[in-house]
Structure 1
Amino acid sequence: MSDVESGSGTPGLRGMERLSRDLPHGVELFHLKPEGSVLFADRDGARELGPSEEFLRFIDDGQFAHYLVGDARTSPERPSNATFKLGVVGPRSAFTPHAHGGEHIVLSLGHAACGLYDAPRGRVTEIRLFPGAMIRIPEMMPHSFANRGSKPLNILAANTGFGIDHEDYAITADEAERRAVDEAGDDGIRHGHGTLGTVTRVGTDYGLLAAALRDIERIQRVRGIGATTVRERLAAGLRRAASALEGPR
């Protein structure tokens, strides 16, 4: 008899509840299920995590994050060296294109895509990601992360030095354009100097950054969010079946 049939509500939750009894105080256990749900257990019991519980807004409406290291206010002035969080990306959705003030690492647990602006080549490159693929993105590189699947996508994301409340966590095209205007003098000539994606934000040309982000936005509008292939959908079904067999009971 499944956990749903037995009244526990979520498949696997009853097994997590049993595991919670053996956890030492302070230890937390997460089960990231293939269909996008997240089960959580500690010494006090088990429950399903959701947007209304222990999740924060993650750049855009409908996207959520749960911090594991650091918090939303992490910054160079309030350091934790890096933030590490669990993210939930809505079905068939993409983040607003942006650039981070620090290095960015994302582990995808489903079928995703990452649009990246390749400055030396002057073009947008889309990288299709698969479950278990991890991508490392340099500081200030324009990009956007998308969920190609029809179910919520779990990701693990690490950022060096910045939490989502910091002004340099995710610089969008609108923000880059505002900064470009602020850097211009009364004569309308920009007095700052720099290039796109430089090692430090001090030397970033925000006009170029805004243009690159607008290119990613345009590609998203024209191409939309890529779909999963028949092979990927079959693999996702097999993965859900494997999770049902392997998960805690």
Structure 2
Amino acid sequence: MPVRPVHAQDRIPDDIPGPVPRDLPGGVELYHLRPDGGILLADREGSRELGPEREFLRFIDDGQFAHYLVGDAATSPERPSNATVKLGVVGPRSAFTPHAHGGEHFVLSLGHAACGLYDEARGRVTDVPLAPGMLIRIPEMMPHSFANRGDTPLTILAANTGYGIDHEDYAITAAEAERRAASPGGSPAGGRTALAAEPRTDYRTLAAELRDIERAQRVHGIAATTVRERLAARLRRVAAALEVPR
């Protein structure tokens, strides 16, 4: 969506819902996270739809995107902002490559999603379905993969403690864990430990757990939305359309 001209009497575009002031102060940004997966941004200069061609960075995999709200891609313990907070867009019927983060991770899903997690205590992969408005906390170094069960782009709000996308420990995949396990010094024979607490992470164990999630994805695929969920999504889009002032 192109940036519209700004008029004194029309600071907020018609596609931003709800009773909002007609004149935003400078520096204030208003986001509309639409049920169809689109993200609209309004500020003093007008409105526009955020998209991959601008304002978005690659988010772990091709076809997945992120827009930082706090911190940036270069955030790290050496260049801290305490946490990074970003909007992410997950492609329809797609999942991230299984990975583990050096810091803890929070994800708020605004659509129908699922999170595959490796349960170390039980020695198995657990799939957690998520509905719109559900937020999941994932401890540091826990292998996981986030998936979009729907047929439209999924918007998420993701917060990571201490790491931006560019940091080497932001998302450690199985391939990267195997590379580290084979590097000089190797990994300890004991159990896997968090990077933040102990630098001697057992990358061989981590890689095996991530490969288990990959196998589960290949065998079971991405779970589909139910009839009830699809009906709820349609009703949510209708509700959003009714809320838009005309």
Do they fold alike, i.e. is TM over 0.5?
yes
% identity of equivalent residues? 73
Q: Given the superposition, is the C-alpha separation of residues 191 and 160 from structure 1 closer, same or farther in structure 2, using an over 3 Å criterion? A: closer
Matched, 1:207 2:208: no
1:231 and 2:228 equivalent? yes
Aligned residues: 233
Does the 8 Å CA contact 1:140/1:201 hold for their aligned counterparts? no
1:71-104: CA deviation from partner (whole Å, max 9, x where unpaired): 0000001000000000000000000000000000
The Cα RMSD (Å) is 1.9
Deviation at 1:200, TM superposition (A): 2.6
Amino acid at match of 2:16: M
Q: Residue 244 of structure 1 aligns with which residue?
A: 241
What amino acid is aligned across from residue 86 of structure 1 in structure 2?
Answer: L
Work out the CA distance in 2 between the residues paired with 1:182 and 1:143.
24
Tell me if the contact between 1:139 and 1:197 (Cα under 8 Å) persists in the aligned partners.
no
1:162 aligns with 163
Paired letter, 1:70: G
- Structure 1 unaligned regions, length at least 5: 1-11, 185-189
**Aligned ranges for residues 1-249 of structure 1 at < 5 Å?**
13-16=13-16, 21-184=22-185, 190=186, 192-198=188-194, 200=197, 202-249=199-246
Distance 1:141 1:183, change over 3 A: farther
TM-score, normalised to structure 2's length?
A: 0.90
Q: 1:119 to 1:191 in 2, by over 3 A?
A: closer
Deviation at 1:197, TM superposition (A): 4.6
CA distance in 1, matches of 2:13, 2:126: 40
- Is 1:20–1:46's contact at 8 Å kept on the other side of the alignment? no
Asked if the contact 2:14–2:244 (Cα under 8 Å) also holds between the matched residues in 1, the reply is no
- Contact 1:107 1:155 (8 Å CA) reproduced: yes
The answer as to whether partners of 1:141 and 1:197 remain within 8 angstroms in 2 is: no
Structure 1 residues 183 and 21, CA, compared in 2 at 3 Å: closer, same or farther? farther
Separation in structure 2 between the aligned mates of residue 181 and residue 148 of structure 1, nearest angstrom: 35
Amino acid at match of 2:14: R
Is the contact made by 1:20 and 1:42 (CA closer than 8 Å) also made in structure 2? no
**TM-score between the two structures when normalised by the length of structure 1:** 0.89
Per-residue deviation, 1:196: 2.5
Q: Secondary structure at the match of 2:192?
A: coil
CA distance, structure 2, for counterparts of residue 201 and residue 241 of structure 1: 50
Please tell me whether the aligned partners of residues 194 and 204 of structure 1 are also in contact (alpha carbons under 8 angstroms): no
Residues in 2 aligned to 1:50 and 1:20: alpha-carbon distance in whole angstroms: 25
CA shift, 1:247, in A, is 2.9
Q: Which amino acid in structure 2 is aligned with residue 16 of structure 1?
A: I
The CA distance in 2 between the partners of 1:54 and 1:47, in whole Å, is 11
| SS of the residue 1:195 aligns to | coil
Contact (CA 8 Å) 1:20, 1:41: kept in 2 or not?
A: no
Runs of 5+ consecutive residues of structure 2 not aligned to the other structure: 1-11
Higher helix share: 1
- Deviation string 1:11-67 (CA, Å, 9 cap, x unpaired) is x95343996851100000000000101111010100111111100000000000000
| Partner AA of 2:91 in structure 1 | G
1:203 partner SS: coil
Structure 1 residue 246: Cα displacement: 1.3
User: Relative to 1, partners in 2 of residues 1:169 and 1:201: Cα closer, same or farther, differing over 3 Å?
Assistant: farther
